[in-house]
Each structure stands twice: as structure tokens, then as C-alpha cells.
């Protein structure tokens, strides 16, 4: 169990620092419907995280005839995809003196109700290639080592807590101490807009190298 958690933790961190859900969450917290839309958004985000993990874990277990080569190929392909995404993130980072830009669709987020916000939380994950690729890597790691039901639930809970922490914790803090949290949210939004591409590129690079390394090591066995 602990080995699976160790493999999943960096992948969960990769999901947690994805900028769009954090920025969308901040916009929702600044909206008139914050107290109804942000919990729904967080729920949609968590459902997407769990759904992707379980889906890719199931697919990784469909090894034809029990042949482990499919898992090896999955490690190599996912690792290569992560390296490519890391390269794209690095190229997309704001140059010195430039300011980061947010997607225009975020302007409509502040008027969303609970149902639309829940769909947004799910859709931001499902429509993001980086999240899906990291989710696929997590699913391969999660599905490669069958665990008892109790340990599976613990691993799933740890992964979900870390992956969703950057959305769930600020929302919780907002409900506890709204006035204190608002200035910090503004600062976080600005920092993410400027620096997250570089941070994400480094993390994707590390995870991609680890995935390729596991695939190569499995080939040698």
C-alpha cells in the first residue's frame, strides 16, 4: 500500500498545481454565488479526479492474455507524452517583462450557479490533456498493484486529498474566515498566472522521466 501511495503522491501534486481549477475557484469565490457555486465546483473537480483514476486503472488492468508488455508500453507512452507537455508548458511561460494572460471564458465563471459550477469542475479536468495524462499515469500505478478493499480506499483517499487540496482547502478557509482569505486569493491568482507554467513544466518533466524509467526497468526484467 505504501509503495502505491509513494508512486501516486507526485502525480497527485501534479494535479493539485494545475492552474485553471485554482483560478476558476478563486473567480467563483469572488462571485455573488460563492457560497453555493464553489462547493459544487469542488465536488465536480473531485469526481473528475476519482473517475479518471478508476477509469485508467481499469484500462491498465486489461492486459491481453495477462501480458505485462501493455503496462510497459503505457509507461513509455505516458512518460513521453508528459515530456512533450513539459516542453510545451516551458515554451508557454511568460517571458521576462511579460504578464500572464487568463482564458476569456473565465469572465463567465463568476455568474455560474451550482449546477454549472459542478460541470465546470468536472469539465476542466476532462478537457485538459495535462490532467488526463497525469491521471493516466496515476491510473497505471494504481491499477498495477491490486490491494485489499480497505487499503484501496485508503490509497484512493490519500490521492484525492492531495490532488484536490488546492481547491478544497481554500474553499474551506473561505467559509471559515472570508475576510482574511480574500486578499490571499488575489495574491495567489496573480502568482499562478505568472509562474505556474514554469512550475508545471518542471513537475511534468520529473514525472515523465520517472514513468519512462519505470518502463525501461520493466523491459530489463
Higher pLDDT, 11 or 95: 11
CA 47 vs. chain centroid, Å, equals: 12
Per the CB < 8 A criterion, the answer to whether 32 and 183 are in contact is: no
Among the residues of the chain, which ranges form H helices? 2-16, 19-29, 34-60, 69-92, 114-126, 129-143, 149-176, 178-220
Residue 43: the pLDDT is 95
Per the CB < 8 A criterion, the answer to whether 114 and 36 are in contact is: yes
| Average pLDDT value over all residues in the chain | 80
Per the CB < 8 A criterion, the answer to whether 22 and 167 are in contact is: yes
Average pLDDT over residues 129-145: 84
User: What digits encode the pLDDT tens for the residues 127-136?
Assistant: 888 888 888 8
Q: What is the DSSP string of 172-195?
A: HHHHH-HHHHHHHHHHHHHHHHHH
Q: What is the dihedral of CA 7, 8, 13, 16, to 10 degrees?
A: 170
User: What digits encode the pLDDT tens for the residues 72-129?
Assistant: 777 788 788 888 888 887 877 766 665 555 556 666 777 788 899 999 999 989 888 8
Residue 42: the pLDDT is 94
Grid coordinates representing 152? 484501496
Residue 137: the pLDDT is 86
User: What digits encode the pLDDT tens for the residues 175-200?
Assistant: 888 777 777 776 766 666 666 677 77
pTM: 0.76
How many Å apart are CA 112 and CA 92, to the nearest integer?
29
Confidence of residue 218 (pLDDT cuts 50, 70, 90): low
Residues 6+ apart with CB under 8 A from 40: 114, 115, 117, 118, 121
- R_g over Cα of the chain: 18
Amino acid at each position: 500500500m505504501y509503495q502505491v501511495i509513494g508512486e501516486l503522491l507526485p502525480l497527485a501534486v501534479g494535479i493539485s498545481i494545475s492552474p485553471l481549477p485554482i483560478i476558476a475557484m478563486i473567480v467563483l469565490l469572488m462571485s455573488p454565488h460563492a457560497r453555493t457555486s464553489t462547493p459544487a465546483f469542488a465536488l465536480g473537480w473531485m469526481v473528475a479526479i476519482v473517475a479518471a483514476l478508476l477509469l485508467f486503472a481499469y484500462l491498465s488492468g486489461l492486459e491481453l492474455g495477462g501480458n505485462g508488455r501493455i503496462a510497459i508500453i503505457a509507461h513509455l507512452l505516458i512518460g513521453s507524452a508528459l515530456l512533450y507537455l513539459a516542453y510545451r508548458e516551458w515554451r508557454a511561460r511568460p517571458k521576462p517583462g511579460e504578464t500572464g494572460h487568463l482564458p476569456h471564458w473565465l469572465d463567465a465563471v463568476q455568474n455560474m450557479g451550482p449546477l454549472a459550477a459542478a460541470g465546470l469542475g468536472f469539465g476542466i479536468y476532462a478537457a485538459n490533456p495535462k490532467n488526463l495524462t497525469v491521471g493516466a499515469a496515476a491510473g497505471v500505478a494504481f491499477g498495477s498493484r491490486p490491494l485489499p478493499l480497505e487499503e484501496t480506499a485508503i490509497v484512493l483517499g490519500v490521492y484525492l486529498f492531495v490532488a484536490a487540496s488546492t481547491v478544497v482547502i481554500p474553499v474551506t478557509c473561505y467559509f471559515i474566515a472570508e475576510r482574511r482569505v480574500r486578499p490571499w486569493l488575489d495574491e495567489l491568482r496573480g502568482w499562478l498566472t505568472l509562474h505556474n507554467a514554469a512550475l508545471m513544466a518542471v513537475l511534468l518533466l520529473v514525472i515523465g522521466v520517472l514513468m519512462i524509467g519505470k518502463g525501461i526497468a520493466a523491459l530489463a526484467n
